[in-house]
Amino acid sequence: GDSVTQMEGPVTLSEEAFLTINCTYTATGYPSLFWYVQYPGEGLQLLLKATKADDKGSNKGFEATYRKETTSFHLEKGSVQVSDSAVYFCALTSNSGNTPLVFGKGTRLSVIA
């Protein structure tokens, strides 16, 4: 079945550092790919998405590119802030969209001033 593997955390960075959170997937066809963010005490929020190969999703300075050849969707940000401290989830939905979203296990990011 479909699956998502993302790097384990926790990740601790200093403010203004470069962030990469790796995400790779296993799925047939062309799934849609997502990054969600969860701030303390809240539910998950959509951060960005990409629905076809080579698409780049971007939001709030975060970016991720849908790489079919490497089955990857790595999350990047050039300069993190303390307010970016959260848990990040990579996810996919199947080509048909008829099966529930498959989530990675989450990566906790802590940014220190």
Partner 1 sequence: EADIYQTPRYLVIGTGKKITLECSQTMGHDKMYWYQQDPGMELHLIHYSYGVNSTEKGDLSSESTVSRIRTEHFPLTLESARPSHTSQYLCASSEYSRGSPLHFGNGTRLTVT
- CA 103 to CA 105: how far, in whole Å? 6
Cβ neighbours around 67 below 10 Å, total? 16
- CA 103 to CA 79: how far, in whole Å? 25
| Out of 19, 21, 23, 34, the residue judged to bind partner 1 by CB under 8 A | 34
Stretch that binds partner 1, among 15-23, 63-71, 76-84, 100-108 (CB under 8 A): 100-108
| Out of 20, 68, 105, 112, the residue judged to bind partner 1 by CB under 8 A | 105
The closest of 9, 6, 7 to 110, measured between CA atoms, is 9
Residues of the shown chain interacting with partner 1 in the complex, contacts defined by CB under 8 A: 32, 34, 36, 38, 41-46, 49, 51, 87, 89, 93, 95-98, 100-101, 103, 105-106, 108
